[in-house]
Amino acid sequence: MAARSDARSLRALPEEGAGAPSDAEATGPGGDLRSVLVTSVLNLEPLDLDLFRGRHYWVPVSQRLFGGQIVGQALVAAAKAVGEELHVHSLHCYFVRAGDPSVPVLYQVERTRTGRSFSVRSVKAIQHGKPILICQASFQEIQPSPVQHQFHMPDVPLPEELLTQEELIQKYLQDPNLMEKYRRGLNKILAQEIPIEMKPVNPPDIFHRNPQEPRQLFWVRARGHIGDCDMKLHCCVAAYISDYAFLGTALLPHQCQHVQFMVSLDHSMWFHAPFRADHWMLYECESPWAGGSRGLVHGRLWRRDGVLAASCAQEGVIRVREPPLKSKL
């Protein structure tokens, strides 16, 4: 199924520096606000042929750039270097340096291969003259095939039956017996302007830190309206979304550990079927292994009609505080 390309396609996004969007551009049908992921986060400024500049919207409390932002922006840069008839089917990224939130990121695209069915674009995300991320993205013409199968989507409550992350936090804050350190932490989370909506299917017990199976499910979507546009744009938004709360799945069996440092090493995605990133999708995350100060996570993004839209994988560094040595006396 080929995605329709129109005036709102990836190539037709307003470039940064072109001025504030008009009322019509800032809203979608029915007056819905356009997603900031489209109007700001993934809106790159062209500097030269295959050279772009990206700026920052949300920076985590770690004060490092959010990995999903760098992956999403790198995919936008790669997508601008292929024809509209091609669709992204996979990306593979390595995070090689921490991102600096005080300066923009340059994206340098190399047209590695342009074939009849498949084309590859390589992207370097650069700060201070050095790469912070290396990305390979592959694009394909639509090719129908009778060889088709997929797993079954997990049976979970619909998003309309669940509370958002913000609503859950408000519920926790109403507890008069809530410890002050938890209250401060929850209020910090509420104060962050994250351009993603999330509804956990089985919210973890964040206060008792009991070990859990390394598996979590939540409904996710971009905040605001994106619309029926070039499918590559929805893939870029999904790349941004996919990194949020992903690596934390590997920590669920280790709630008693004090994490000192956790950062992504690499991130891969495969896109299977058309989807809308501004519609609810079920994000199924599981961690089959952790060890050697690393954790591996797998993810599947499901459309609510049961179609598998995308698959993800990521490995990250996880370092915890060592327990104090016991005295021999």
At position 9, the amino acid (one-letter code) is: S
Q: What is the dihedral of CA 214, 99, 105, 126, to 10 degrees?
A: -100
Q: How far apart are alpha carbons 84 and 173 in whole angstroms?
A: 48
Of the residues 69, 243, 278, 311, only one is catalytic, namely: 243
**Which residues, at least 6 apart from 22, have a Cβ–Cβ distance to it below 8 Å?**
none
- Our answer to whether residue 314 is catalytic in this structure is yes
Q: Per DSSP, what are the bridge partners of residue 283? A: 218, 301
Q: Examine the residue annotation and report whether 243 is marked as an active-site residue of this protein.
A: yes
Of the candidates 242, 264, 287, 311, the residue annotated as catalytic is: 264
Q: What does the alpha-carbon distance between residue 189 and residue 169 come to, in Å, rounded to a whole number?
A: 9
With beta carbons less than 8 A apart as the criterion, state whether 295 and 247 touch: yes
Question: Is 264 a known active-site residue?
Answer: yes
User: What are φ and ψ of residue 90, in 5° steps?
Assistant: -160, 160
> CA dist 280 to 16, 24, 163, 252, Å?
28, 24, 13, 24
Distances in Å between the alpha carbon of 232 and those of 119, 137, 186, 216?
14, 12, 35, 27
If phi over 0 gives left and psi between -120 and 50 gives alpha, with beta otherwise, what is residue 17? left
Residues with catalytic roles:
243, 264, 314
